[in-house]
Amino acid sequence: EIFQRVAPSVVHISGRADESVLSNGTATAQVQTGTGFIWDLAGHIVTNSHVVQGSSALSVRLPSGEVLPAEVVGTAPNVDLAVVAISPSHRLPPPIAVGRSAELKVGQSAFAIGNPYGLDQSLTIGVVSALKRRLPTSGGRETSDVIQTDAAINPGNSGGPLLDSAGRLIGVNTAVASSAGGGAGIGFAIPVDVVNRVVPQLIRNGHVSLPGIGIIAADEGTTTRLGVQGVVVVRTLPGSPAEKAGLQSIDPSTGTLGDIIVAANGRQVRRLADLTEEIEKAGIGHAVDLNVMRGDTTASMRAEIVDVGGMK
């Protein structure tokens, strides 16, 4: 019953990257595929950012077999979500009912519908294996509260819906961890509460505001090897609040560590996700109070929070 009700709203997305010329003179273009689902009757379709990234031509195949051209409305790589649009003049299946991820429980049933390896309209069944996982995304950021499931997710499932036993959307399938590289591992889904916050912004503005202070942080593997607990500031972006506040970067000539952020707004910072959470909680237009380790001393400073989405 769940499949019959929801599957008509799940689509196959294909993207073609720009052509490149091989050494033998032939031209080739990489094709990437994934899954998406109808968000509204205006023709908006939700998928993963990595499904459409780098594509110069997109098409959507409906369950009826009809193939329609699609355009990217907006992407949010920091949470691996994107919205594409097809012509609303076509008769579209109904949008998927939206649930809430904040109310999920470990052990409850989970259903994934998608196009693994190009096999359209495939259903896999499992449970919610864990909640509040952290999933690395682009720009050294992490998405928190990610859903872990043992419902089989394979290449091609990306961007498809994860459903509860009532057929409501609870997440967007985005990644799989497996030693074999396939669905025998652990699947992850962006929680629907994040989707509900991000997708309307993408439809309205084409992008999502990204609160930050303008730092590039070392990855967790590096901080672990250094024996550091906190966020290592690799560099500050030119003109950013971090630069104006006086945060010091790693010295590129000597490799000497600069500042290590160990607290934000009075809360201990062990990893980048802790800092990001405090910054997002305060919001753009406000400030964050930082405690940093600078050599053997501790310093306090305040940095304004701005939209860093366009900073490089």
- Write the pLDDT tens digit of every residue in 227-237: 888 999 999 99
* Residue 21 confidence class, pLDDT cut points 50, 70, 90: very low
pLDDT at 175 over 90: no
Catalytic residue among 9, 12, 49, 80: 80
Global pTM reads 0.76
Give the side-chain half-sphere CA count within 13 A for 179: 0
CB distance 25 to 19 below 8 Å: no
Using CA atoms, how far apart are residues 90 and 191, in angstroms rounded to an integer? Answer: 29
Using CA atoms, how far apart are residues 9 and 98, in angstroms rounded to an integer? Answer: 13
Q: Output the pLDDT for position 100.
A: 92
CB distance 117 to 93 below 8 Å: no
The burial class, CB within 10 Å (0-12 / 13-18 / 19+), for 56 is exposed
Q: Is 158 a catalytic residue?
A: yes
Average pLDDT over residues 143-169: 92
Catalytic residue among 14, 59, 122, 158: 158
* Residue 147 confidence class, pLDDT cut points 50, 70, 90: very high
Q: Is 50 a catalytic residue?
A: yes
Alpha carbon 75 to chain centroid distance?
9
Which range (71-75, 182-186, 258-262) has the least confidence? 182-186
Catalytic residue among 50, 164, 193, 274: 50
pLDDT at 162 over 70: yes
Q: Is 18 a catalytic residue?
A: no
pLDDT at 184 over 80: no
**pLDDT tens digits for range 110-135:** 999 999 988 889 999 999 999 988 78
pLDDT at 182 over 90: no
**pLDDT tens digits for range 200-217:** 999 999 988 888 999 988
Using CA atoms, how far apart are residues 222 and 268, in angstroms rounded to an integer? Answer: 19
Using CA atoms, how far apart are residues 44 and 50, in angstroms rounded to an integer? Answer: 17
Max alpha carbon distance in the chain (Å)?
66
> Of the segments 37-46, 135-144, 244-253, which one has the largest average pLDDT value?
37-46
Give the CA radius of gyration of the chain.
21
Average pLDDT over residues 262-287: 91
**pLDDT tens digits for range 39-58:** 999 999 999 999 998 887 89
**pLDDT tens digits for range 26-41:** 544 567 899 999 999 9
